[in-house]
Amino acid sequence: MKSLSLSWVALALTLGACLFESVGAAPSSSSLSTAAASSPAVTYNVAAKPSRQSKFALAAFIETNINSGTDGGLYAETIRNRAFQDNVSNAANTNNALGKGSLLHWTGTSKGTELTLSLDNSLSAALPQSAIVTGQKTDSCGIANSGFEGFSVTKQPYKLAFYARSPTGKPTTVPVEVGLYSSDSSKTFAKQTLPLKLSGEWQKFETTLTPSQAASNNNNVFAIKTQGACNDGFQVNLVSLTPPTWQGTVARPDLAQALADIKPKYVRLPGGNDLEGNNIPSWFNWTNAVGDLKNRPGRTPTWTSDWNTEGLGLMELMDLTEKWGAQAILGIYAGYSLDGKAVPQNQLGPYIQSALNQLHFLLDTTGRWADLRKSYGRSAPYKFQHVEIGNEDWLGAAVQTYGPYRWAAFRDAIAKEFPQLTLIASTLLNGVEGAKAVDDHLYATPSQLFAFAEGMDATSRAIPIWELEYAVINSGLTNDSDIYSGPGRLKHPTLIGALAEATFLAGAERNGDIFYSAAYAPLFQNEGTNLTQWTPDLLSFNAGQMVKSTSYYIQYAWGNYPIEQIHDTSLSTPTNSSHIYHSFGSDGQGHLVAKLINTNAAARDVKVQLGSGAKLSANGAKSWQMKGNDPQAANTLSNPQAVVPQSSSSGLPQGAQLTSDGSLTVTLPAYSATVLNLALA
Ligand code: AHR
């Protein structure tokens, strides 16, 4: 599950131990607030006209399952173990396609309540387990769910849906109260009574719960309990409670809006490791991730101990992508899973056929698969251009089979039926031919990323690079031989880490003729106990709150200030001695976009002058800046605003001015990223 890009490995070997250090050759912190020197640390001579188109565009990676970031995160469902499928030991690595089943995260609402996990009278073949709620005949009985570490209760309508039947099969009416309560039962925030008319058949019940008051914390439960006598109780399954979602999707609004705000042009989906599954039977089989929820069996999880519901399934992910104004990069399972086993060459056929069916389902206008999609409510085909075959096939045993047969088998079959698609290889190692692009991953320390960024101008132009996973994951302060497991591993993105990511993005943009896209990974972290497996992450949250990290803000800046064309630039001082990183481009609307990252512990003056006598104008200038005195500062749920950027849509930021010759001088604060959008006069 760990990844290092090949190009990165080569670079790391070359640069060796000199990469592991405190942040740069920067001055000591005693010079933190020192005024900038009067002569510019760097003068940038920027060509007045662009030399090349930039293909670079920001991507987001919706990595399923990890950190309870989809179930328990982006998927707005608040009920945990809603169809009694949990109880998965990740280590045990089950082949079970339906979930062993358990009553985890459910409790009885009264002392006498008995909850029984039942396989009798299944709701559907996909969701075979259900809960039978019984108890003392004359007392109330019921079932309560503790959510993904509680429920955030606010004054908004929550949609409730569940299936129920009579456990004896005999027709009966069971009046129940459904509601949201504090865990100690002292407060009722919302309740409804429903006269459940039950029979031996499963029936769906739906209502809305609108709390009359908000809860002060997430320490709350949802419950269904009989009003009065339990009698024969009730049998229940697929219990769902969702607050209002984002723009008609199934997504949690704060998380979905945060992603919309960074304006990604591409969305890679689904995982990551979760695409591959822990073993071959737990691969991402799209047919189990579409259609009515009661017919979705879900899947063994790759990271969490909760069952993968696939409620945020294939169409839901595509719909979200579309609403974000982005195009999908569809990850296709390529016959290799995380236990190191590959599907043998002569057994690959069904997996290839499944991939083709998936593409027909998403892209066709007519025919069997288009009809199926239409029956699920989506008439128009989805629009996308890129398909990635596999995930990280440079790792472990994957490399022994990817180039030798898996890649070519998928490539040929897809190219034959979908010649319009661009196929991205997950590695170029060991015989991979005909790839139009490669997805290279990069997890690093700040210093490693600075060094990488400095080398990016020399990147081979042989094949377009998509860095669809990258992040600073380790502070680099403890010289860890393994940046994944050493003590320097970050819990949250830091200021200096985010600046390092900015230097990488600036390098990608400067070389946007060959770097086509980049996606920070992972995006989501549910901060609940045992809900996170991988840090740091772009957005941290719990049942009610969300925090934007320093890395998030860098994504925001790059997504909101994109460039279309690259302006070549010469520098008075090389980057590896100034420790100031840059990209210059034009936005297609006659503006120069300048991105400047000062990784030093003191402010620095820089000068930007255009060639051929061209001038910059401050009219309509826009700017964005993130800075801080503490390079290790991080935004967290308990300190969400440690580092917050500022933007202005009217004029230059403090410390920036135009001189009479149309050049720009800027004082870049210590530890800062600055983006300027200026008219080319
Ligand atoms: O982003 C976390 C993991 O890193 C991804 O699942 C995998 O592709 C990579 O190893």
- 483 and 577, same structural domain? yes
CATH number for the domain spanning 108: value is 2.60.120.260
Q: Quick check: CB of 271 below 6 Å from ligand 1?
A: yes
Q: Are residues 453 and 587 in the same domain?
A: yes
The residue among 73, 80, 2, 71 whose CA lies nearest residue 524 is 73
Which residues span the domain enclosing 648? 11-17+35-54+437-488+564-681
Domain identity same for 446 and 329: no
Does the CB atom of residue 469 touch ligand 1 within 6 A?
yes
pTM: 0.94
Q: Whose CA is nearest to atom 2 of ligand 1?
A: 522
The reply to whether 161 and 183 lie within a common domain is: yes
From start to end of 351-428, where are the E strands?
386-389, 422-425
Residue 135 inside a domain? The answer is: yes
Q: What is the pLDDT of residue 96?
A: 62
Assess if residue 46 is contained within a domain. yes
pLDDT at residue number 95: 56
- Say whether both 163 and 281 belong to one domain: no
Indicate whether residue 63 lines ligand 1 (CB < 6 A).
yes
Residue 152 sits in the same domain as residue 226 = yes
Query: Residue 376 has what DSSP assignment?
Result: T
In a domain, 78, yes or no: no
Cα torsion angle, 611, 516, 400, 276, sign: positive
Domain boundary among 186, 216, 242: 242
Q: Does the residue 23 lie in any domain?
A: no
Query: Domain for residue 29, yes or no?
Result: no
For the chain, how many structural domains are there in total?
Answer: 3
Spacing, Cα 538 to ligand 1 middle (Å)? 14
Helix (H, G, I), strand (E, B) or coil at 192: strand
Q: Which amino acid is at 6?
A: L
Name the residue of 3, 68, 484 whose CB sits within 8 Å of the most ligand 1 atoms, as the mutation to test its pocket. 3
| Nearest atom (ligand 1) to Cα of 271 | 6
Strand partners, 161: 206, 240
Amino acid occupying residue 355: A
534: Cβ below 6 Å to ligand 1?
Answer: yes
**Ligand 1 within 6 A of CB of 3:** yes
Q: At what angle do helices 446-455 and 6-15 cross, to 10 degrees?
A: 100
Q: Same structural domain for residues 404 and 394?
A: yes
308 ligand 1 Cβ < 6 A: no
SS3 for 205-265 is: EEEEECCCCCCCCCCEEEEEEECCCCCCCEEEEEEEEECCCCCCCCECHHHHHHHHHCCCC
Judge whether 329 lies within some domain: yes
pLDDT of residue 38: 66
Q: Residue 4: its pLDDT value, please?
A: 38
In a domain, 358, yes or no: yes
Q: What is the pLDDT of residue 247?
A: 98
Domain end, chosen from 227, 242, 257, is at 242
CA–centroid distance, 2 to ligand 1, in Å, is: 6
Domain boundary at 212, 242, 272, which? 242
Using the mean position of ligand 1's atoms as its centre, give its distance from the Cα of residue 643 in Å. Answer: 27
- 467 and 519 both lie in a single domain: no
Distance (Å) from CA 65 to ligand 1 centroid: 11
Q: If the chain, 681 residues long, is cut into consecutive pieces of 10 residues, what is the mean pLDDT of each piece?
A: 38 30 31 50 97 97 98 98 82 60 96 96 96 93 98 98 98 98 98 98 98 98 97 97 98 98 98 95 95 95 93 98 98 97 98 98 98 98 98 97 98 98 97 96 98 98 98 98 98 99 98 98 95 97 98 98 98 98 96 98 98 92 97 98 93 90 96 96 82
Looking at the fold, whether 453 and 516 belong to one and the same domain comes out as no
What span, in angstroms and rounded, lies between the C-alpha atoms of 105 and 86?
A: 9
Distance from the alpha carbon of residue 540 to the mean position of ligand 1, in angstroms: 17
**27 assigned to some structural domain:** no
Q: Residue 617: give its domain's CATH number.
A: 2.60.40.1180
Do 532 and 449 share a structural domain? no
Q: Are strands 172-182 and 386-389 parallel, antiparallel or unpaired?
A: unpaired
Atom of ligand 1 nearest to the CA of 1: 10
Reading the block at residue 594, the tokens are 């300048």
* Cα-to-centroid distance, 537 and ligand 1 (Å): 12
Do residues 339 and 445 both lie within one domain? no
* Mutation pick for ligand 1 pocket among 66, 333, 392 (CB with most ligand atoms within 8 Å): 392
Say if residue 300 is in the same domain as residue 329: yes
